[in-house]
Amino acid sequence: MFEVVAFHIASSINIRQCKSQLPLKILFSDSDELYLKSGDEKFVYIFQYGLVSFFNRILRIKYKRVNV
């Protein structure tokens, strides 16, 4: 089973800066989103509107779940 975790971290994210600063393989990119490969069956998805999601990544940070 795979785990997916997403965080809304900002009101906007500069996709162009992420592309140039993150040392991950770019699978897809346009002005609104960035899809990166970070390992075997491990991915990061970044959206311009401030969302970052992790697929199949073991995150070593603590985060608080919020019920909406």
**Considering Cα of 52, then 58, then 61, then 67, what sign does the dihedral take?**
positive
Per-residue pLDDT of 16-67, as tens digits, reads 999 999 999 999 999 999 999 999 999 999 999 999 999 997 666 555 555 5
Q: What is the pLDDT of residue 64?
A: 59
The predicted model scores a pTM of 0.82
* Beta-bridge partners for 25: 37
> So what's the pLDDT on residue 63?
56
AA identity, residue 5:
V
User: Nearest 5°: phi and psi at 55?
Assistant: -110, 120
